[in-house]
Chains A and B, each alone.
Chain A
Amino acid sequence: MLLAAFWFFATLMLLFGVSVVVLRNPVSCAMSLVMSFICLAALFVTLDATFIGVIQVLVYAGAIMVLFLFIIMLLDLREEKSRRLNFGATVGGALVLAAFLSIMTQVILSNPAFANQTPKLAGPKVSDVKMIGMTLFHSFGLPFEVVGVLLLSATVGVVVLSRRTLR
Chain B
Amino acid sequence: MNLPSIAWIILFAPLVAAGLILMVTRTNKPFAAGLAILSALITTVGGYTLFAKSAEGVYHGFNWVDFGQAFSIPFDLALDPLSRTMLVIVTTISPLVFIYSIGYMKEEVGFARFFAGLALFLFSMLGIVLANNLVMMFIFWELVGVSSYILIGHYYHKDSAADAAKQAFLVNRIGDFGFMLGILLFWIATGGPSGGTFSFVGINHPAPIFVQNPALLAVAVVLIFCGTVGKSAQFPLHVWLPNSMEGPTPVSSLLHAATMVAAGVYLLARIFPILASSPEASEVVAWIGAITALGAGILAIQQDDIKGILAYSTISQLGYMVTGAGLAVSAALPMFHLFTHAFFKCLLFLTAGSVILGMHHEQNIWKMGGLLKKMPVTFITYCCGMLALSGCPFFSGHYSKDLIMACSWEHHRDIFWVVVIAAGLTPFYMMRQALVVFFGKARSEHSEHAHESPLVMTIPLILLAIPAVIAGYPFFEHTFFHEIGSLAEPEVPAYVPQVFLGVFLAGLGLAIAIYGRAPEKDPIRIPFLRRLFYIDDFYFWIVRVIQGGFAKICSFIDRWLIDGILVRGSATVVWTLGFALRFLQVGNIQAYALFFGVGVVGLIYLLLHVR
Cα(A100)–Cα(B594), bound, Å: 12
Contact A100 B591 (CB under 8 A): no
Cα(A92)–Cα(B597), bound, Å: 10
CB-CB under 8 A from A100, the residues of chain B are: 597, 600-601
CB contact under 8 A between A89 and B594, given known A96-B601, A100-B601, A103-B601: yes
Report if B581 contacts A (CB, 8 A).
Answer: no
Report if B528 contacts A (CB, 8 A).
Answer: no
CB-CB under 8 A from B598, the residues of chain A are: 92, 96
Cα(A92)–Cα(B598), bound, Å: 9
Report if B608 contacts A (CB, 8 A).
Answer: yes
Q: How far is the CB of B568 from chain A (nearest CB, A)?
A: 37
Report if A62 contacts B (CB, 8 A).
Answer: no
Contact A103 B604 (CB under 8 A): yes
Contact A103 B608 (CB under 8 A): yes
- A103 partner, pick from B588, B591, B605, beta carbons under 8 A: B605
Cα(A92)–Cα(B588), bound, Å: 14
Report if A93 contacts B (CB, 8 A).
Answer: yes
Which of A92, A93, A96, A107 has its CB near the most chain B CB atoms (within 10 A)? A96
Within A84-114, the residues touching B (CB, 8 Å) are 89, 92-93, 96, 99-100, 103, 106-107
Which of B590, B597, B600, B601 has its CB near the most chain A CB atoms (within 10 A)? B601
CB-CB under 8 A from B605, the residues of chain A are: 99, 103
Contact B594 A92 (CB under 8 A): yes
Q: How far is the CB of A101 from chain B (nearest CB, A)?
A: 10
Main secondary structure of the interface of B (DSSP, over half): helix
Chain A's closest residue to B600 (CB) is: A100
Chain A's closest residue to B599 (CB) is: A96
Contact A89 B591 (CB under 8 A): yes
Contact B594 A96 (CB under 8 A): yes
CB contact under 8 A between A96 and B597, given known A103-B604, A103-B608: yes
Cα(A99)–Cα(B600), bound, Å: 11
Cα(A133)–Cα(B591), bound, Å: 42
CB-CB under 8 A from A93, the residues of chain B are: 590, 594, 597
CB-CB under 8 A from B600, the residues of chain A are: 100
Contact B601 A99 (CB under 8 A): yes
Within B559-611, the residues touching A (CB, 8 Å) are 588, 590-591, 594, 597-598, 600-601, 604-605, 608
Q: How far is the CB of A152 from chain B (nearest CB, A)?
A: 28
- A89 partner, pick from B590, B601, B604, B608, beta carbons under 8 A: B590
Chain A's closest residue to B596 (CB) is: A96
Proximity bits, B408-434, A CB within 8 Å = 1, else 0: 000000000000000000000000000
Within A127-144, the residues touching B (CB, 8 Å) are none
Cα(A103)–Cα(B597), bound, Å: 13
Cα(A99)–Cα(B605), bound, Å: 10
Cα(A93)–Cα(B595), bound, Å: 9
CB-CB under 8 A from A92, the residues of chain B are: 594, 598
Cα(A93)–Cα(B588), bound, Å: 14
Chain B's closest residue to A101 (CB) is: B601
Q: How far is the CB of A106 from chain B (nearest CB, A)?
A: 8
CB-CB under 8 A from A89, the residues of chain B are: 588, 590-591, 594
Q: How far is the CB of A103 from chain B (nearest CB, A)?
A: 6
Cα(A116)–Cα(B600), bound, Å: 28
Q: How far is the CB of B590 from chain A (nearest CB, A)?
A: 6
Cα(A106)–Cα(B608), bound, Å: 10
CB-CB under 8 A from A99, the residues of chain B are: 601, 605
CB-CB under 8 A from A103, the residues of chain B are: 601, 604-605, 608
Cα(A89)–Cα(B597), bound, Å: 12
Q: How far is the CB of B399 from chain A (nearest CB, A)?
A: 109
Q: How far is the CB of B588 from chain A (nearest CB, A)?
A: 8
Contact A107 B608 (CB under 8 A): yes
CB-CB under 8 A from B601, the residues of chain A are: 96, 99-100, 103
Cα(A94)–Cα(B93), bound, Å: 105
Chain B's closest residue to A99 (CB) is: B601
Q: How far is the CB of A91 from chain B (nearest CB, A)?
A: 10
Q: How far is the CB of B150 from chain A (nearest CB, A)?
A: 76
Cα(A69)–Cα(B475), bound, Å: 131
Within A52-105, the residues touching B (CB, 8 Å) are 89, 92-93, 96, 99-100, 103
Chain B's closest residue to A110 (CB) is: B608
Chain B's closest residue to A103 (CB) is: B604
Chain B's closest residue to A104 (CB) is: B604
CB-CB under 8 A from A96, the residues of chain B are: 594, 597-598, 601
Chain A's closest residue to B590 (CB) is: A89
Cα(A103)–Cα(B602), bound, Å: 10
Chain A's closest residue to B593 (CB) is: A93
Q: How far is the CB of A156 from chain B (nearest CB, A)?
A: 26
CB-CB under 8 A from A106, the residues of chain B are: 608
Cα(A106)–Cα(B588), bound, Å: 32
Cα(A100)–Cα(B601), bound, Å: 6
Cα(A96)–Cα(B590), bound, Å: 13
Cα(A93)–Cα(B598), bound, Å: 9
Proximity bits, B138-176, A CB within 8 Å = 1, else 0: 000000000000000000000000000000000000000
Cα(A96)–Cα(B597), bound, Å: 7
Cα(A106)–Cα(B598), bound, Å: 17
Q: How far is the CB of A33 from chain B (nearest CB, A)?
A: 19
Cα(A103)–Cα(B605), bound, Å: 7
Chain B's closest residue to A92 (CB) is: B594
CB-CB under 8 A from B588, the residues of chain A are: 89
Cα(A107)–Cα(B601), bound, Å: 13
Cα(A103)–Cα(B600), bound, Å: 11
What are 24 A-B pairs with beta-carbon distances under 8 A?
Answer: A89-B588, A89-B590, A89-B591, A89-B594, A92-B594, A92-B598, A93-B590, A93-B594, A93-B597, A96-B594, A96-B597, A96-B598, A96-B601, A99-B601, A99-B605, A100-B597, A100-B600, A100-B601, A103-B601, A103-B604, A103-B605, A103-B608, A106-B608, A107-B608
Shortest 9 CB-CB contacts between residues of A and residues of B: A96-B597, A99-B601, A92-B594, A100-B601, A103-B604, A96-B598, A93-B594, A103-B605, A96-B601
Using CB atoms and an 8 Å cutoff, list the residues of chain A in contact with chain B.
89, 92-93, 96, 99-100, 103, 106-107
Known: A93-B590, A96-B594, A100-B597. 12 other contacts (CB 8 A): A89-B590, A89-B591, A89-B594, A92-B594, A93-B594, A96-B597, A96-B598, A96-B601, A99-B601, A99-B605, A100-B600, A103-B601
